[in-house]
């Protein structure tokens, strides 16, 4: 995998040499983001200003399976601002950044904007096939609305620094979006503090540590954050079935764009329903066309919380 990505990067660099760096740049500023949240936050800060925003991950695609094409690498090099997350799923970025002209392209790494948490294997989860030697930080930093605020501020900062003429507009747009994020944050706190139980059970990966920690919720899940596993063992499934029964939760959760196989199995064994909780890695093509935002998905999450915590 690493080798293939290296070849792609070399190809990308060749393409750059052939086309000449930055030669095709239009007049408007260009922001390139890897995943959907980067795109959504940048869109909110840009508002009506003349800035082009490109998302490398195609709508509907699994963020963990993404590999850059030579064209994507050229887009990053041509960008005025490049926004990425920076975790295990985006290890390919570091090779590209080595060759990037930092005067030409400002880089925002979401993981640098927040306090990081380590990825944990919680009771009942599948163990990783290989033992990880280094501490691995959980890359899903944006799942907490409080962190989303920090990332939006960072985007506003960088954008204002390269486009001072529109500084006020960016500031106002960012403030607008941040006030929506604060509203969601308050709503989640209100739901959690008035809820009967404080635990979520996922028959899926668990990319929501930043979210549950922020709101004092407990959780159980089949795999840690970005596990590539999709098959859970009988032991893991029966552990989660027992938890659903013991905690008497009305629904077991799955993540967006997941097959939902494990959650379905648990649901059919326990008679509870399956609900989608959004970690907002990516959106479907239709949702992308409809202009859905991070706020929309968090609103959906608030509804789900109201149901499953009571
Ligand atoms: Zn992930």
Domain ranges of the chain: 2-115+139-181, 195-279
Q: How far is the CA of 26 from the centre of ligand 1 (A)?
A: 33
The answer to whether the CB of 243 falls within 8 A of the CB of 219 is no
Instruction: Specify the 3-state DSSP secondary structure of 180.
Output: helix
Q: What is the pLDDT of residue 35?
A: 95
CATH architecture observed for domain 2-115+139-181: 3-Layer(aba) Sandwich (3.40)
Higher pLDDT, 24 or 75: 75
Q: How far is the CA of 267 from the centre of ligand 1 (A)?
A: 23
**How many residues are recorded in the chain?**
310
Task: Grade residue 103 by pLDDT with cuts at 50, 70 and 90.
Answer: confident
Phi and psi for 165 in degrees, rounded to 5? -60, -30
Q: How far is the CA of 18 from the centre of ligand 1 (A)?
A: 35
Number of C-beta neighbours around residue 260 at 10 A = 17
In eight-state DSSP terms, residue 141 is G
195-279 has which fold?
Rossmann fold (3.40.50)
The answer to whether the CB of 280 falls within 8 A of the CB of 142 is yes
Q: How far is the CA of 258 from the centre of ligand 1 (A)?
A: 11
Answer whether 2-115+139-181 and 195-279 agree in fold: yes
Q: How far is the CA of 37 from the centre of ligand 1 (A)?
A: 12
Q: How far is the CA of 187 from the centre of ligand 1 (A)?
A: 25
pTM, entire model: 0.90
Q: How far is the CA of 292 from the centre of ligand 1 (A)?
A: 19
Q: How far is the CA of 282 from the centre of ligand 1 (A)?
A: 10
- Picking from 74, 80, 91, the residue whose alpha carbon sits closest to that of residue 2 is 91
pLDDT (average), residues 209-224:
96
**E strands in 148-284:** 199-206, 218-224, 251-255, 273-277
Q: Note the helical H segments in the chain.
A: 2-19, 36-46, 70-78, 92-98, 145-162, 167-193, 209-215, 234-247, 261-270, 285-289, 294-308
Higher pLDDT, 123 or 244: 244
Q: How far is the CA of 162 from the centre of ligand 1 (A)?
A: 31
Q: What is the pLDDT of residue 25?
A: 47
């Amino acid at each position: 995998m690493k080798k293939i990505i290296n070849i792609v990067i070399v190809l990308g660099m060749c393409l750059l040499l052939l086309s000449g760096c930055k030669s095709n740049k239009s007049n408007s500023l260009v922001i390139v983001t890897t995943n959907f949240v980067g795109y959504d936050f940048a869109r909110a800060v840009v508002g009506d200003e003349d800035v082009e925003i490109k998302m490398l991950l195609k709508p509907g695609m699994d963020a963990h399976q993404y590999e850059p094409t030579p064209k994507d690498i050229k887009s990053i090099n041509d960008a005025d601002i490049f926004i990425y997350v920076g975790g295990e799923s985006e290890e390919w970025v570091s090779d590209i950044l080595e060759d990037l002209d930092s005067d030409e392209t400002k880089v925002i790494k979401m993981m640098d904007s927040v306090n990081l948490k380590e990825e944990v294997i919680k009771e009942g989860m599948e163990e990783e096939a290989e033992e990880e030697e280094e501490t691995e930080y959980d890359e899903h930093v944006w799942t907490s609305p409080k962190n989303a605020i920090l990332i939006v501020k960072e985007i506003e900062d960088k954008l204002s620094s390269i486009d001072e003429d529109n500084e006020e507009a960016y500031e106002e747009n960012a403030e607008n979006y941040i006030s929506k994020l604060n509203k969601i944050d308050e709503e989640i706190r209100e739901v959690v503090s008035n809820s009967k139980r404080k635990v979520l059970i996922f028959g899926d990966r668990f990319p929501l540590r930043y979210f549950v920690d922020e709101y004092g919720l407990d959780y159980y899940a089949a795999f840690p954050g970005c596990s590539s596993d999709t098959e859970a063992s009988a032991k893991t499934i029966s552990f989660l079935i027992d938890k659903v029964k013991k905690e008497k939760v009305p629904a077991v959760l799955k993540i967006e764009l997941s097959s939902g196989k494990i959650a379905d199995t648990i649901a059919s064994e326990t008679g509870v329903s399956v609900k989608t909780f959004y970690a907002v890695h990516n959106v479907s093509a239709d949702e992308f066309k409809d202009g859905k935002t991070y706020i929309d998905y968090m609103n959906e999450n608030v509804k789900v919380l109201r149901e499953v915590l009571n």
